[in-house]
Amino acid sequence: MRVLVFGQTGQVARELARRVPDGITARFLGRDAADLSDPDACAAAISDCDAVINAAAWTAVDKAEADEAAATVVNGAAPAAMAGVCAGRGLPFLHISSDYVFDGAGKYAFAPNHAAAPLGAYGRSKLAGELGVLAAGGRSLILRTSWVFSAHGANFVKTMLRLGAERPDLRVVADQVGGPTPAAAIADALYLSARAMAEGAQGGVHHFSGAPDVAWADFARAIMARAGLACRIEDISSAAYPTPARRPANSRLDCSSFESAFGLTRPDWRAGLDLVLQELGYAA
């Protein structure tokens, strides 16, 4: 099976490159070969494959507030163009989306069919991508996830490790709750889904995030403890840490439909964290 992957340097794309299963060959398109700011070029790059995974995106949440138009091209128009080509050729198209399409209200886990209500530009751009993919009418999988981390790129785990080694204490938001998700687990889920869809399985909109759900501050405590850092974490409110983009207070995702459709349970982020720490040289 031949899988074409949009993305090369992002967290999930790098894990997709490292975790190609037996029976699958994967080809990766970086920005030089397919720039998501040019949707037509992305569409034209699709060839010689049995399934397409879009693992590239605009992920700078705060910068999207200042340039929503550009973020919407990358996160909205580009995947819609890819999905259109895939629909015309009968190819499964797999696309990563985000908990930011929801407003974060309440304390329940959002089901895939819950009404979207993004709080900011990044969430609106991701929702635009979802709607464009669905409108293409092909066999597609929209996989919403949250709080992605790995040993690569910029993410919360690496930020906490850097600051935790420099400072005796850190103030971390404690009123935002969600599921930290190892990029490696997302990569495995995408390959599993791509193979199943190539064999006739349906896609749809599903959720896939790590378990158990946790507040950012408690996640930070786990990072420090498992990395052997003495940095103390102080709980603060979101109001005490203002950012250009509003973050959802509730990023819990109901992942039961993905488990039912593809047989994969939520990954334990603690096990994923230990593997990342080992890769980064910490004795987890």
- Give the catalytic positions in this structure: 122
Question: What's the CA gap between 150 and 153, in Å, rounded?
Answer: 8
Q: How many helices (H) and strands (E) does the chain have?
A: 11, 13
Pairing of strands 140-145, 204-207: parallel
- Cβ atoms 220, 234 nearer than 8 A: no
Q: Is 48 exposed, middle or buried (0-12, 13-18, 19+ CB in 10 A)?
A: exposed
Structure tokens at 151: 């040993």
Q: What is the amino acid identity at position 279?
A: E
Cα angle for residues 222, 262, 185 (degrees, 5° grid): 30
Neighbours of 196 (CB within 10 A): 17
Residue 54 phi/psi, 5-degree rounding, is: -100, 105
